[in-house]
Amino acid sequence: MTSRLWRIGGGVAAILVALVIFIVPFLFIVFTAGKTQAESSFLEYSWPTEWVLFENIATVLQNRDFLLVRAFVNSTVLTLAAVTIMVVLGAMVGYVLQRRKSRWNPVVNSLVLAGLIIPPAVVPTIWVLQGLELFKSIPGLIAVHVAFGLSFCILLFRAFVATIPRELDEAAIIDGAGPVKLFFRVIFPLLRSVIVTVIVVQAVSVFNDFTFALYFAPGDDNATVQLTTFNYISQSVSSFNLLFANVLLITIPPLIMYIFFQRQIVAGMTSGAVKG
């Protein structure tokens, strides 16, 4: 009986902590986004005396010649392209590292770990992008995200591939499957749970990125959703209602992804923990 009470109390405490950490700040964003400019300037946690949320959202969408709409398009293209490349390349490299043992494996593993440990260097990266003529462009920003996010994907895929029996590879080879067909027809469909995890985690990371877009793709034509907040603050510091309306709009897509795919994220993160 006592242990049951402890479990119930722990669950209630966890819910309360989640409310304080996540729900309370989100409600502050909603309340401030729904206030008038004068009322929002006080930055108080209070119910708006006059709800103007939709008017503020319309103003934010029309601001600077629909910059936020263009930024949403750029962020969507950036996220889809970068995540697709990371999923395919990460799965292929993880499969090869797990299945094929060679003297180069320790070197490759060291490089993968280095990609997680070594922080990004802005000036050398800009120099490389300029040499490739990709600086200040969406393709260049895609390449940067792939370069810095691929190591995490490789580690996840390699851990999951270890749980897939080698007998499946051998059976497919006996049936005449080549390396490409073996991977995409047999192995890749079995990676569904970890693929969902990589897609959601990396999509939210790329979509919410601020620093890479600021350093490597400046300019309104390449603006992403996070940069619209930065640009908007530089225009009008006192319009906190419009600022928080902008924050609310760019928060909704990642929030929806986490709500619908939270179970798949946990399953993918833990599926490769135990080899079976």
Angle, helices 53-99 vs 192-207, to 10°: value is 130
- Whether 59 is in a domain gets the answer no
Give residue 135's domain range. 67-270
Task: Work out the end-to-end distance of the chain between its first and last CA atoms, rounded to an integer number of angstroms.
Answer: 36
Task: Kindly report the three-state secondary structure assignment for every residue of the chain.
Answer: CHHHHHHHHHHHHHHHHHHHHHHHHHHHHHHHHCCCHHHHCCCCCCCCCCCCHHHHHHHHHHHHHHHHHHHHHHHHHHHHHHHHHHHHHHHHHHHHHHHCCCCCHHHHHHHHHHHHHCCCCHHHHHHHHHHCCCCCCHHHHHHHHHHHHHHHHHHHHHHHHCCCCHHHHHHHHHCCCCHHHHHHHHHHHHCHHHHHHHHHHHHHHHHCCCHHHHHHCCCHHHCCHHHHHHHHHHHCCCCHHHHHHHHHHHHHHHHHHHHHHHHHHHHHHHCCCCCC
Which residues 6+ apart lie within 8 Å of 88 measured at CB? none
- Whether 19 is in a domain gets the answer no
- Whether 29 is in a domain gets the answer no
Residue given tokens 């395919």 in the structure block: 88
At 58, the pLDDT band (50, 70, 90 cuts) reads: very high
- CATH code of the domain containing 142: 1.10.3720.10
Is a pLDDT exceeding 80 seen at residue 1?
A: no
Tens digit of pLDDT for each residue in 236-273? 556 888 889 999 999 888 888 777 776 666 665 555 54
Cα–Cα distance, 40 to 240 (Å, whole number)? 6
Share of the chain above pLDDT 70, in %: 89
pLDDT at 238: 67
Note the residue count of the chain.
276
Q: Please name the amino acid found at residue 35.
A: K
Average pLDDT over residues 92-115: 87
pLDDT at 172: 86
Sign of CA dihedral 269, 258, 149, 114: negative
- Whether 15 is in a domain gets the answer no
Average pLDDT over residues 145-150: 93
- To the nearest whole number, what is the mean pLDDT of the chain? 86
- Whether 189 is in a domain gets the answer yes
- Whether 31 is in a domain gets the answer no
- Whether 34 is in a domain gets the answer no
- Whether 46 is in a domain gets the answer no
pLDDT at 275: 45
The whole-model pTM stands at 0.84
Q: Please name the amino acid found at residue 48.
A: P
Count of structural domains, the chain: 1
